[in-house]
Each structure stands twice: as C-alpha cells, then as structure tokens.
Amino acid sequence: MINLTPEKVIEPSPDNSEVVLSVEGVSKKFCRDLKRSLFYGVQDIAGELTGFRAKSDKLRTKEFWALDNVNFQLKKGEALGLVGKNGSGKSTLLRIIAGLIKPDLGTVRVTGRVAPLIALGAGFNPILTGRENIYANMSILGLSTKEIDERFDDVVEFAEIGEAIDSPVQTYSSGMAARLGFASAIHTEPDILLIDEVLAVGDAKFRAKCNRKLNEIRSQGSSFVLVSHNVAAILGICDHSVYLSKGNMIADGLTDSVVRKYEADLFIQEQEIYHGKVYFEEKTPIASSGADIRYFCFKDIDGNIIDFPEVGEYVSFCVGCKIHQKIDEIFIYFAINDLTKDNESILVMSSRFDKKCIKTQLGELEIQLQLPCCYLRPGTYEMAIHLQKQNSYAFDIVSSLRFEIKDSHKITYLNGRNLFYHPRKWNYLTTKY
C-alpha cells in the first residue's frame, strides 16, 4: 500500500525492499523575476562551490514555493496519480524525482532505474536519424550498447515508423517523434516510470497499445507516477493519487476519492454548492409572470429534506411554487449538466415531455419529481429549472443550481469508471450432469 500523509514526513523502513520511491518533505522554490532568478542562481552556485550554501526555508524577494513539504512513498508494481490544476507543482515534482532539478528542502530516495516520459521526443537530435537517436536516448537511460541491440527491433516495431528509422528526425512528424520517444523509454525496462501527459500519443489504436504495454511492464514489477488532466486515465491506471494545489498536498489516498475532491474544487469556484433547502428571492406581483419558483430541495423516501442524493437511493426533486393568477396547468423542466465533463448536458426531465400536466390554483404548491433510484454517478452537477406553459413560455427560471451526488454506503462505486449507476440483482444456477 502507498502510505501518504501530508501532515508529517514519512520515514521509509530501511528493511522494506518493496519501497522504490520515497519523497520526504520535498520543497522547491522559484523566482518570478528573471533578473533576480539569474542573480539568485549565481549566488547559489557560488555557495555550493565554496561550501557555504545552506538549505533555507526562507523565501527571498519575488520567490514562491512551487512545492511545499510533499511526502509519499511508492512501492514496487504500484501506480500513483498526480492531479491538480496547471501550476500546482506536478511537473516540478516529476523533474525532481527524475533528478533533473534539485529540491531546496527534503530528500528523494529512488531504488532502481527511472525512465521519465516527459515531453516525448524533446531530447532527440533533429539531425541524427531515428536509429541514432534510439541508441543515444537509451544509453542516457542506462542501457549498454548490447542491451540496445537486443531491443532495437522491438522499439522500431512498437513505434510503427518503418523505413523512416534511417531518416533524420527533423523529417518526422511530431506524432512520429513522440511515438519513437515513448517506445525508447518503455523498452528500457525501468523500475519507475514518470509519465507526464504523454498518453495521448498517436491515434486511438496506438494509445490502446501504449496502455497494454504499460499494464504489461507494471505486471512485471515496474511502478508508475502518472500526471494527467485526463481524469479517466488516472482512474483507469492508478490505485492511489495525490492532489496538489499551489505546491501543497491537499488530498491523498484512493484515486476515486482524491479525484472527486479535485473535481469539486475545480468546478465549484464561483458559486458555493447547495445544501438542504434553498430559497429564492420572492417577486412582487408586478414583477411576477403569474407563477414563481420559491424554493428547491431534495427529499428522501420518508419525505425528509436531505443535503444531497446518494447513488442508487430514492430521491425526490422538490420545487416550491407560488401561483399569483389563474393558470389552468403548468409544466416543470429540469436540465442537468455534469460539471466534471466540461459542463456537458447529460439529463433532461420534463413533465411536458412525459405528458404530465400539473393542475394549479392560487396559492402555494410543491411539485415533486420522484425517482425510485438515483442513476447519476458521484460528482458535481449544475441544474436549471424552468416553470413553464404548454408552449414552453417560462413563468420563472432558476438557471444555475449546483449540487453533488454522493456515494451510497450501500453501494461500492467501481473506481469512478461507470458513467451512471444501474440497479441490478445477481443470481446463478447450477446444472447437474
């Protein structure tokens, strides 16, 4: 298991041979001003050469912490995801683990060979051929010429570049160079793979081949640290994840719960999420169109108000209305968007579509949409509510109501892979021969 605790530095057990990566209290600072950054760099180099440079937890003018006290361990055969917005410190952390830059505080302990899949093809010499670049790149990653000879044909076959292998890399498309970089790195048989937004290489068929290869080398004992904005990739590959924000560890643990925390923070910025019963501003009779939405809430099967629906459980969407004038019938319309899927429209429910008109009279009215089972997956959603006539004329509209769907304690949600929950029963029959 990966043990991640942001409150304290994790000390790896010296007799635990399964730990291949230990990040202990790692912090890194950068300077936002170019001239000051160059000046500080000269100061630091001079300090190292003279032996007077001491690690400092103090920030100098214009400096900031790109990483601040990050701690985790990774064991053999495990996959760890790093999630967070741009600028959260994910790529900086990978570069520190790869040994490309040094931390200002803390230590990184690595056991075995590390292969960084970062900016695929960026290290190729454009004048050299693909063949020559394979030998150069795999040598840098620690392989001997004999080992490269043994794997060369597999690299070329995996990269799917054929006769272009003896052409200069400057004649390659960006996709060809990226495929060759990926193939070179994964055929070094690394103990730790550092993967930074490179799983979108090539077409769908090639990406599927990459995923199969990653699963293969993981089954052989390799460990992964994966950075991606593609939440599906994180959920599909990583058992555990770390959520970084502005260099700080916000959450760690099982990938499903960490990703949901990250998505909630990402999409609930401008408006707080709604809980309980929410009331809307009452209109004057002059401002009203005849029927107003007064409140909204969720209720359980017993009619009690709840903060949020749970996957697989009964829920009632309740809209309180006030009718100011004689209206024969009205309709209610719900449109739900998934905020974690680029605000994609995923569900529309309308009493007009279902041919269920609502008879009204002057006064107050509560309209209930009763769902025997909540099919939506756990996540963050935005809902619009329209109170309307037969011809779609709207008496009143609530355009943006944000809410969450939670996991039910009765239901195990399979690592976030399902798009929706479907009720089911299991059975089996035995046959006598």
Q: How sure is the predictor about 11, in pLDDT bands with cuts at 50, 70 and 90?
A: very low
**pLDDT above 90 (res 7):** no
pLDDT given at position 26: 92
157-168 pLDDT tens trace: 998 888 899 999
pLDDT given at position 1: 34
154-193 pLDDT tens trace: 999 998 888 899 999 899 887 888 888 888 888 888 889 8
**pLDDT above 80 (res 412):** no
Domains of the chain: 19-112+191-266 (3.40.50.300), 278-405 (2.70.50.60)
Q: How sure is the predictor about 335, in pLDDT bands with cuts at 50, 70 and 90?
A: very high
230-266 pLDDT tens trace: 776 787 788 889 999 989 999 888 887 788 788 767 6
267-292 pLDDT tens trace: 555 456 677 888 888 887 777 888 89
13-27 pLDDT tens trace: 344 458 899 999 999
Task: Choose between 146 and 262: higher pLDDT.
Answer: 146
**pLDDT above 90 (res 418):** no
pLDDT given at position 198: 65
**pLDDT above 60 (res 345):** yes
Lowest mean pLDDT among 129-138, 225-234, 302-311: 225-234
**pLDDT above 90 (res 400):** no
pLDDT given at position 6: 40
The candidate with the shortest Cα–Cα distance to 343, out of 399, 415, 286, is 399
pLDDT given at position 200: 59
Mean pLDDT, rounded, of the chain: 82
Task: Choose between 411 and 431: higher pLDDT.
Answer: 431
Asked if 298 and 306 touch (Cβ cutoff 8 Å), the reply is: yes
Lowest mean pLDDT among 112-116, 208-212, 266-270, 298-302: 266-270
**pLDDT above 60 (res 105):** yes
pLDDT given at position 409: 63
**pLDDT above 90 (res 202):** no
pLDDT given at position 123: 66
Average pLDDT over residues 401-413: 74
Backbone angles phi, psi at 342, to 5 degrees: 60, 40
Lowest mean pLDDT among 274-278, 292-296, 340-344, 380-384: 340-344
Lowest mean pLDDT among 54-58, 115-119, 377-381: 54-58
